[in-house]
Amino acid sequence: MKLSFEVLQALDAIDRTGTFAGAAEMLHKAPTSMTYLVQKLETDLGVELFDRTGRRARLTHAGRVVVEDGRRLLRAADDLERKAKRIQEGWESELRIGVDEIIPFDMLWNHVNDFYELKMETKLYLSREVLGGTWDALVTRRADLVVGAAGEPPDIAHIVAKPIGSLRHVFVVHPQHPLASLPEPLTMDSVSRYRAAAIGDTSRELLPRSIALAAGQEVLTVPTLDAKLAAQLKGLAVGTLPQCVAAGAIRRGALVEKRVIGMRETTQFFLAWREDEAGLALRWWVDQLDRPDLIDQVALQLMSRS
Options 3.40.190.290, 3.20.20.10, 3.40.50.300, 3.20.20.140; CATH for 166-266 is 3.40.190.290
Encode pLDDT of 173-188 as tens digits.
Answer: 999 999 999 999 999 8
> Is the overall model pTM greater than 0.75, yes or no?
no
Q: What is the mean pLDDT of the chain?
A: 88
- How far apart are alpha carbons 186 and 262 in whole angstroms? 9
Encode pLDDT of 12-23 as tens digits.
Answer: 888 888 888 888
Q: What is the DSSP string of 185-210?
A: SBPHHHHTTS-EEEEPP--SSSPP--
Residue 181: the pLDDT is 93
Q: Do domains 5-87 and 166-266 have the same CATH topology?
A: no
Encode pLDDT of 141-176 as tens digits.
Answer: 899 999 999 988 888 888 999 999 999 999 999 999
Encode pLDDT of 81-121 as tens digits.
Answer: 776 766 666 788 899 999 999 999 999 999 999 999 988 87
| Host H or E run for residue 72 | helix 61-89
Using alpha carbons only, give the angle 125, 126, 129 rounded to the nearest 5 degrees: 135
Options 3.40.190.10, 3.20.20.140, 3.40.50.1820, 3.40.50.620; CATH for 92-165+268-298 is 3.40.190.10
Domain extent listing, the chain: 5-87, 92-165+268-298, 166-266
Residue 182: the pLDDT is 94
Residue 244: the pLDDT is 93
Residue 282 has pLDDT above 80, yes or no: yes
Q: Determine whether domain 5-87 maps to CATH 1.10.10.10.
A: yes
Encode pLDDT of 180-220 as tens digits.
Answer: 999 999 998 899 999 999 988 887 766 566 665 667 789 99
Cβ 154 vs Cβ 137: under 8 Å: no
Residue 51 has pLDDT above 90, yes or no: no
pLDDT above 90 covers a percentage of the chain that reads 48
Extract the runs of DSSP E, i.e. beta strands, from the chain.
50-51, 58-59, 94-100, 123-129, 145-150, 159-173, 196-199, 219-222, 239-242, 256-258, 266-274
